[in-house]
């Protein structure tokens, strides 16, 4: 909101709600999609203020999700004596509820799940032990993501590393190889998620040492995770614990990273530099409307309605669909289907000329041979 207030001191500008829409000489406007003036954009954000948290819905969602997760976890434990395939089958819905717990923690970090900041922080820190995510550190990092999403000059450690074609062109052969490996689906959605949640979150080296409060939060989360795992290992045995919890962590983290990826990494997404960047455009054009089947949308806390979430992070997950249903402008964003989203996995470079996210193959004719290794 502060960004919008600063811009009101300048000449009026235009905003648009379509995934293919922008204004100015660099862009073309798709017919039939509503364009928003700066005043209308402010009104749109103002309408979302009416969709705040309600205590009973937050508590009910938290209890239903936590009880379902614990019940499925216990079911996995009991199933170990009857066939590991049953355990792995139960891991699928259990991982879904783990993702749902993360979404609740995510909302707590935005201060949107409860009206009380203290309640948000308490619940968020407790859930951080279950999701292997240090709450206070993640809360600050994720706020940076929201403040700079779609800003080429403000890419942060909380984003998925994305280079422009020109930046990739300037790399040596070795560094191009490293980037290509990082962006490979097997790394990005296979090895990477487990590494992020199990290792990186235990010791976030990019966090300045002077941030002693955040480091205390990270270490406190690590101590609590260690204590919980030791207690469970004593109760059911370390082998049984590994057979139960490892699949959960791997499935849940991979799902979470995939959701975050699709929310911003699609062909007609939004990236701008410097003063050309705009908060509203970044939300409506650079955050996807991921249309999932009903059960999956419910399991992922409606976070696929990401354009709404980036317009106002104060809307709790269980009211995002209500926003889309009641505010016509939010329906103008072109949705991405579950099948269509699979093609996003090959996209890796932002082409500033065509203003599209493209694949390495698409970039072949745009990139000369790299410099020598080194």
Residue 341 lies in a domain: yes
Q: Is 268 helix (H, G, I), strand (E, B) or coil?
A: coil
Residue 19: the pLDDT is: 31
Give the Cα separation of 319 and 334 in Å (integer).
20
pLDDT at 308: 94
CB 317 within 8 A of CB 110: no
Q: Is residue 373 a part of any domain in this protein?
A: no
Residue 374 lies in a domain: no
- Rounded CA-CA distance 250/191 in Å is 9
**DSSP 8-state secondary structure symbol assigned to residue 200:** I
What the block records as the tokens of 41 is 């954009």
- Is 310 among the domain residues? yes
Structural domain that includes position 185? 2-366
Q: Token pair for residue 174?
A: 């070795």
The angle subtended at Cα 128 by Cα 122 and Cα 131, nearest 5°, is: 145
Tokens describing residue 114 = 């409860």
Secondary structure class of 305 (helix, strand, coil): strand
Number of domains in the chain: 1
C-beta separation of 111 from 263 below 8 A: no
Which of 284, 271, 290 lies closest to 48 in space, CA to CA?
284
Tell me, yes or no, whether 163 lies in a domain: yes
Mean pLDDT per 10-residue segment, the chain (374 residues): 31 34 35 48 84 96 98 97 96 97 97 96 97 94 90 83 93 94 95 93 77 86 97 97 96 96 94 88 91 94 94 95 92 89 95 93 75 56
* Displacement of CA 54 from its chain's centroid (Å): 23
Answer yes or no: is 372 within a domain: no
Is the C-alpha dihedral spanning 327, 338, 187, 85 positive or negative?
A: positive
- Closest listed residue to residue 338, CA positions, set 291, 269, 287, 268: 291
The residues, ordered by sequence, that sit 6+ positions from 363 with a Cβ below 8 Å of its Cβ are: 165, 168, 349, 351
What are 349's strand-pairing partners? 163, 358
Q: Collapse the DSSP code of 41 into the 3-class scheme (helix H, G, I; strand E, B; otherwise coil) and give the result.
A: helix
Strand 163-164 to 356-359 pairing = unpaired
In a domain, 88, yes or no: yes
Residue 89 makes CB contacts below 8 A (sequence gap 6+) with none
Give CA torsion, residues 145, 147, 152, 153, to 10 deg.
Answer: -110
Residue 25 has what pLDDT? 33
Q: Per the domain annotation, does 8 fall within a domain? A: yes
Name the nearest CA neighbour of 308 among 334, 289, 336, 332.
289
Instruction: Write down the pLDDT at residue 43.
Output: 82
């Amino acid at each position: 909101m502060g960004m919008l207030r600063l811009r009101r001191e300048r000449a009026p500008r235009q905003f648009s709600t379509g995934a293919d829409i922008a204004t100015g000489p660099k862009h073309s406007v798709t017919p039939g999609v509503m364009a928003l003036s700066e005043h209308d954009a402010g009104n749109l954000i103002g309408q979302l203020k009416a969709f705040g948290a309600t205590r009973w819905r937050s508590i009910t969602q938290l209890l239903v999700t936590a009880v379902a997760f614990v019940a499925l976890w216990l079911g996995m434990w009991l199933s170990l004596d009857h066939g590991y395939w049953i355990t792995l089958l139960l891991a699928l819905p259990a991982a879904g509820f783990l993702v749902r717990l993360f979404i609740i923690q995510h909302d707590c970090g935005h201060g949107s799940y409860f009206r009380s900041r203290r309640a948000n922080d308490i619940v968020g820190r407790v859930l951080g032990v279950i999701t292997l995510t240090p709450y206070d550190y993640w809360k600050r990092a994720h706020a940076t993501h929201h403040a700079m999403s779609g800003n080429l000059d403000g890419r942060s450690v909380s984003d998925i590393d994305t280079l422009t074609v020109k930046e990739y062109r300037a790399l040596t052969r070795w560094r191009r190889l490293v980037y290509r490996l990082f962006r490979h689906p097997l790394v990005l959605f296979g090895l990477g998620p487990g590494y992020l949640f199990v290792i990186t979150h235990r010791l976030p080296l990019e966090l300045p040492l002077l941030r002693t409060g955040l480091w205390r939060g990270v270490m406190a989360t690590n101590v609590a995770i260690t204590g919980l795992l030791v207690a469970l290992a004593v109760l059911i045995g370390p082998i049984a614990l590994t057979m139960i919890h490892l699949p959960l962590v791997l499935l849940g983290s991979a799902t979470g990273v995939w959701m975050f990826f699709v929310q911003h990494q699609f062909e007609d997404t939004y990236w701008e530099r410097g003063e050309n960047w705009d908060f509203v455009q970044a939300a409506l054009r650079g955050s996807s409307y991921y249309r999932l089947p009903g059960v999956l949308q419910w399991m992922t806390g409606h976070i696929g309605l990401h354009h709404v979430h980036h317009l106002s992070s104060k809307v709790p997950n269980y009211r995002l669909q209500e926003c889309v249903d009641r505010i016509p402008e939010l329906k103008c964003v072109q949705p991405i289907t579950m099948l269509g989203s699979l093609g996003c996995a090959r996209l890796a470079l932002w082409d500033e000329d065509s203003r599209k996210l493209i694949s390495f193959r698409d970039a072949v004719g745009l990139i000369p041979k790299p410099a020598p290794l080194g």
